[in-house]
């Protein structure tokens, strides 16, 4: 790897609506890279650190109401700590960071879903992270109705965001696609209705091209 992105490592994020298959693809990519001899750090937001676990419990499982601006600030606080304590050190060591959700999720869920505004939420996250952007963002795009069917099949309780109305998830999906259209060099948009193996092959191809 080179330092073309300002660090010797590689920062890959996976984005998309709930039920799109991000966790599955993160695991498959981690295994492939590890087999190729790369040191891989797999993490998520929120919940990638001890502080993040506490924040995750508040924003996703708190039974009472959390004001939208407070929710956005909690995600940004977790992101600031996560990047400073885990992500940047790993990238500086030349490792590959594979992360489930990053700032694009905040822009989609809080900016569009909560209608707080794209620019405000994005600027907050960029300030929190010192401007760190992923080298590659994989967007797993899936119709919210199909995603809900997958979540129903899991037979697990919905978290606060999963339980939102379909209109909320439609806004989130539209914002993700708009973000990808605005930064085509950073994003790889894939139809998440395809098989896990087909998606993994496309992701590996893109990552291999970056690694050179």
Enter the pTM of the model: 0.91
1 part of a folded domain: no
pLDDT of residue 151: 65
Within a domain: 97: yes
Residue 157, token pair as written in the block:
């309780």
How many residues make up the chain in this entry?
212
Which pLDDT score is estimated for 18? 84
pLDDT at res. 85: 97
The phi, psi pair for 38, rounded to 5°, reads -85, 145
Average pLDDT, the chain: 90
Q: Is the pLDDT of residue 158 over 70?
A: no
Flag whether 36 is in a domain.
yes
Longest CA–CA span in the chain (Å) reads: 48
Neighbours of 21 (CB within 10 A): 22
Q: What is the pLDDT of residues 2-54, one digit of tens each?
A: 555 678 999 999 999 888 899 999 999 999 999 999 999 999 998 899 988 99
CATH code of residue 104 = 3.40.50.300
- 43 part of a folded domain: yes
Identify whether 182 is part of a domain.
Answer: yes
Q: What is residue 153's predicted lDDT score, i.e. its pLDDT?
A: 64
2 assigned to some structural domain = no
Range(s) of the domain holding residue 146: 10-211
Write down the pLDDT at residue 43: 98
pLDDT at 160 over 70: no
Predicted local distance difference test score (pLDDT) of residue 107: 97
The domain total for the chain is 1
User: Are β-strands 136-141 and 187-191 bridged in parallel, bridged antiparallel, or unpaired?
Assistant: parallel
CA-nearest of 116, 98, 126 to 175 is 116
Q: How confident is the model at residue 188 (pLDDT cuts 50, 70, 90)?
A: very high
- Distance (Å, whole) CA 39 – CA 30: 9
Q: How far apart are CA 34 and CA 153, in angstroms?
A: 31
Contact 29, 203 (CB under 8 A): yes
Q: What letter does residue 129 receive in the DSSP assignment? A: H
Q: Is 169 within the bounds of a domain?
A: yes
Q: Which two tokens stand for residue 99?
A: 């992360």
pLDDT confidence bin for 197, thresholds 50/70/90: very high
Q: Is residue 159 part of a domain?
A: yes
Which pair of structure tokens corresponds to residue 58?
């508040």
pLDDT bracket for residue 91 (50, 70, 90): very high
Residue with the two structure tokens 């998830």: 169
71-92 b/e (C-beta count within 10 Å ≥ 16 → b): bbebbbbbbbbbbeebbbebbe
Rg, C-alpha atoms of the chain: 16
Task: Show the tokens assigned to 56.
Answer: 């995750």
């Amino acid at each position: 790897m080179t330092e073309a992105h300002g660090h010797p490592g590689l920062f890959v994020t996976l984005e998309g609506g709930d039920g799109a298959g991000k966790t599955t693809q993160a695991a498959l990519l981690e295994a492939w890279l590890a087999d190729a001899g790369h040191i891989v750090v797999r993490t998520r937001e929120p919940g990638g650190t001890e502080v993040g676990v506490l924040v995750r419990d508040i924003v996703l499982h708190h039974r009472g109401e959390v004001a939208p601006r407070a929710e956005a600030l909690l995600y940004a606080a977790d992101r600031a700590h996560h990047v400073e304590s885990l992500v940047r050190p790993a990238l500086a060591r030349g490792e590959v960071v594979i992360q489930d959700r990053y700032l694009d999720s905040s822009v989609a869920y809080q900016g569009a879903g909560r209608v707080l505004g794209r620019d405000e939420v994005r600027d907050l996250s960029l300030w929190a992270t010192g401007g760190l952007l992923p080298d590659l963002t994989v967007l797993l795009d899936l119709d919210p109705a199909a995603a809900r069917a997958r979540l129903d099949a899991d037979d697990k309780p919905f978290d606060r965001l999963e339980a939102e109305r379909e209109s909320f998830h439609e806004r989130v999906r539209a914002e993700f696609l708009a973000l990808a259209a605005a930064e085509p060099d950073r994003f790889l948009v894939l139809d998440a209705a395809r098989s896990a193996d087909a998606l993994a092959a496309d992701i590996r191809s893109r990552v291999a091209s970056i690694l050179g």
